[in-house]
C-alpha cells in the first residue's frame, strides 16, 4: 500500500503486539519534527546564575553596591549565587558570614526568594536567591510612530 501511494512505511512501536506501522512521508515528518524542536528552543527562557563574591569583613558601602547589583540581576530574571569567602583566621567565625548572608537575603527580599539556609563549602559560605515571578521586567516594545 505504501508503494502504491509513493510513501514510506514507518514502524511506530516495534515492541507492541502486533507491531504498529504507519504510512507517511518520512522526510516531511522529520522536517516538521525538527521545525517544532527549533521553535520550542526559541521560545524557552534561559536562566543564568550570576555570582556575587564578598569577604566576611566587607564594608557598608561595598555591601550596598553588591545588593544593588544582585537586585538588578533578579529584576532581569537571573538567579544569584552569593558567596562569602573567609580569609586566614576569619574561618574561625562562620557566624559572621551567616549573619552577612542573612542580611543580604533580607535586603533582596523584594525581588527574590532564597533557597534554603547558608551552606558552608570549604572556606566559603553560599546561598542561592531566585527571582520572584512578578518582578521580572519584560523588554519594552518600541512605540508606534503613527
Ranges of CATH 3.10.20.80 domains, the chain = 2-35
Fold of 49-135: Translation Initiation Factor IF3 (3.30.110)
pLDDT digits (tens, 9 = 90+) for 1-22: 888 888 888 888 888 888 888 8
**18 prior amide bond cis, ω within 30:** yes
**Strand, coil or helix: 116:** coil
Whether domain 2-35 has CATH 3.30.465.10: the reply is no
Residue 5 pLDDT: 85
Query: What is the Cα 116 distance to its own chain's centre?
Result: 17
pLDDT digits (tens, 9 = 90+) for 95-143: 888 888 888 888 888 887 877 777 788 888 888 888 877 644 444 444 4
Ranges of CATH 3.30.110.10 domains, the chain = 49-135
What whole-number percentage of the chain has pLDDT above 90? Answer: 2
Amino acid at each position: 500500500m505504501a508503494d502504491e501511494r509513493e510513501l514510506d512505511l514507518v514502524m511506530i512501536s516495534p515492541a507492541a503486539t502486533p507491531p504498529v506501522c504507519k504510512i507517511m512521508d518520512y522526510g516531511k515528518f522529520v522536517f516538521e519534527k525538527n521545525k517544532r524542536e527549533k521553535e520550542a528552543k526559541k521560545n524557552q527562557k534561559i536562566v543564568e546564575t550570576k555570582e556575587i563574591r564578598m569577604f566576611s569583613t566587607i564594608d557598608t558601602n561595598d555591601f550596598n553596591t553588591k545588593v544593588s547589583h544582585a537586585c538588578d540581576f533578579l529584576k532581569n530574571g537571573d538567579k544569584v549565587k552569593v558567596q562569602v569567602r573567609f580569609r586566614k583566621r576569619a574561618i574561625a567565625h562562620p557566624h559572621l558570614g551567616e549573619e552577612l548572608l542573612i542580611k543580604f537575603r533580607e535586603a533582596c527580599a523584594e525581588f527574590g526568594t532564597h533557597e534554603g539556609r547558608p551552606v558552608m563549602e570549604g572556606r566559603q559560605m553560599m546561598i542561592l536567591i531566585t527571582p520572584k515571578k512578578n518582578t521580572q521586567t519584560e523588554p519594552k516594545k518600541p512605540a508606534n510612530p503613527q
